[in-house]
């Protein structure tokens, strides 16, 4: 989204410069900005340029400079954090009531770990924790939420939300897991918060992602829509590597990855696909 302040900034990068910036962002993050959206990038980088008071060419140099933190700034400004509690509730109900319940059939008390990959401002990992507390009160679990945008992670850590975020939360959940701060603000309660660990992580950095450990379930929803095909495939391989044997990958209801059925078994239940890790020899580098 472009703010009114950004719209007022008229700094015209050349198409070549914008494409160069697009490619730097793509290589770092997997996010691919199509040619017809480059004008939006022009607003975003224009706003940064005004703040830094430098010329377009110098800005491209700065983005390429590995010591500079500018790439983080531009990523913070282009990432779209649209989310809410209980997003795609039907999919969540099917997953937890059927797929995950079956997954737990031989459960012996070990820690179950969930990853919310591209967790934005925290609504998704907290929703997962609420589902687990509600439906599986006896299991030992943790939820890890990661996002590339450090501002989103800071907000997630605060755990304070407005009406827009909580609009689809069932009323009984609302009273049980949220504390009212004022007429339009709520805070997630400590019992939920302490189950969720939040970190800034770039999902395209495979070495860093592997340091998060192994997971039983990975949710990665509404993230790969911004990626190109090769980045989606690379991410599917990374997820395969960090899933435990027989673990599950959950994408957004309409999302697909071209290589997915080579390394995951698609399970179709009540109109939704869920992806179970298939064992194979060797690792992805």
DSSP string, 24-63: HHHHHHSB---GGGHHHHHHHHHHHHHHHT--HHHHHHHH
Could you give the CA distance from residue 81 to residue 149 in angstroms, rounded to a whole number?
A: 9
State the minimum distance, in angstroms, from the CB of residue 232 to ligand SAM: 11
CB of 14 or CB of 168, closer to ligand SAM: 168
In contact, 202 and 148? CB cutoff 8 Å: yes
- Is the sign of the CA dihedral 180, 181, 183, 184 positive or negative? negative
CB of 31 or CB of 63, closer to ligand SAM: 31
CB of 45 or CB of 224, closer to ligand SAM: 224
CB of 56 or CB of 113, closer to ligand SAM: 113
The beta-strand segments (E) located in the chain are 112-117, 141-147, 160-162, 178-182, 185-188, 196-200, 215-220, 243-251, 264-269, 272-277
Q: Is 200 helix (H, G, I), strand (E, B) or coil?
A: strand
First to last CA, the chain: 35
In contact, 272 and 91? CB cutoff 8 Å: yes
State the minimum distance, in angstroms, from the CB of residue 203 to ligand SAM: 4
CB of 56 or CB of 177, closer to ligand SAM: 177
In contact, 203 and 146? CB cutoff 8 Å: yes
Which residues are near ligand SAM by CB under 6 A?
Answer: 29-31, 79-83, 87, 118-120, 124, 147-149, 152, 202-204, 221-223, 226
State the minimum distance, in angstroms, from the CB of residue 12 to ligand SAM: 27
CB of 197 or CB of 202, closer to ligand SAM: 202
Question: Angle between the 56-64 and 38-52 helix axes, to the nearest 10 degrees?
Answer: 90
Could you give the CA distance from residue 93 to residue 236 in angstroms, rounded to a whole number?
A: 24
Residue 238 backbone dihedrals phi, psi, to 5 degrees: -60, -45
State the minimum distance, in angstroms, from the CB of residue 190 to ligand SAM: 23
CB of 49 or CB of 119, closer to ligand SAM: 119
State the minimum distance, in angstroms, from the CB of residue 69 to ligand SAM: 17
CB of 177 or CB of 227, closer to ligand SAM: 227
State the minimum distance, in angstroms, from the CB of residue 258 to ligand SAM: 18
State the minimum distance, in angstroms, from the CB of residue 138 to ligand SAM: 27
Could you give the CA distance from residue 45 to residue 81 in angstroms, rounded to a whole number?
A: 18
State the minimum distance, in angstroms, from the CB of residue 235 to ligand SAM: 8
């Amino acid at each position: 989204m472009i703010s009114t302040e950004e719209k007022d900034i008229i700094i015209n990068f050349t198409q070549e410069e914008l494409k160069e910036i697009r490619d730097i962002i793509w290589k770092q993050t997997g996010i691919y900005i199509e040619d017809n959206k480059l004008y939006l990038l022009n607003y975003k980088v224009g706003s940064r340029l005004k703040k830094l008071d430098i010329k377009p060419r110098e800005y491209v140099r700065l983005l390429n400079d590995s010591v500079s933190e500018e790439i983080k700034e531009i990523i913070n400004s282009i990432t779209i954090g649209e989310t809410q509690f209980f997003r795609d509730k039907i999919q969540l109900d099917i997953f937890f009531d059927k797929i995950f319940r079956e997954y737990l059939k031989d459960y012996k008390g070990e820690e179950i770990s969930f990853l919310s990959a591209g967790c934005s401002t925290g609504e998704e990992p907290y929703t997962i924790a609420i589902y687990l507390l509600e439906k599986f009160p006896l299991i030992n679990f943790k939820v890890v939420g990661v996002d590339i945008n450090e501002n989103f992670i800071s907000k997630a850590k605060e755990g304070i939300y407005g009406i827009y975020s909580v609009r689809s939360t069932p009323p009984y959940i609302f009273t049980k897991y949220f504390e009212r701060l004022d007429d339009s603000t709520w805070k997630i309660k400590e019992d939920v918060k302490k189950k969720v660990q939040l970190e800034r992580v770039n999902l395209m950095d495979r070495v860093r992602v592997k340091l998060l450990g192994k997971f039983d379930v990975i949710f990665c929803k509404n993230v790969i829509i911004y990626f190109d095909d090769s980045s989606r495939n690379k991410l599917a391989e990374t997820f395969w590597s960090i899933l435990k044997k027989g673990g599950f990958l959950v994408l957004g209801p309409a999302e697909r990855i071209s290589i997915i059925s080579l390394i995951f078994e698609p399970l179709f239940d009540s109109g939704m696909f869920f992806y179970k890790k298939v064992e194979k020899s060797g690792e992805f580098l």
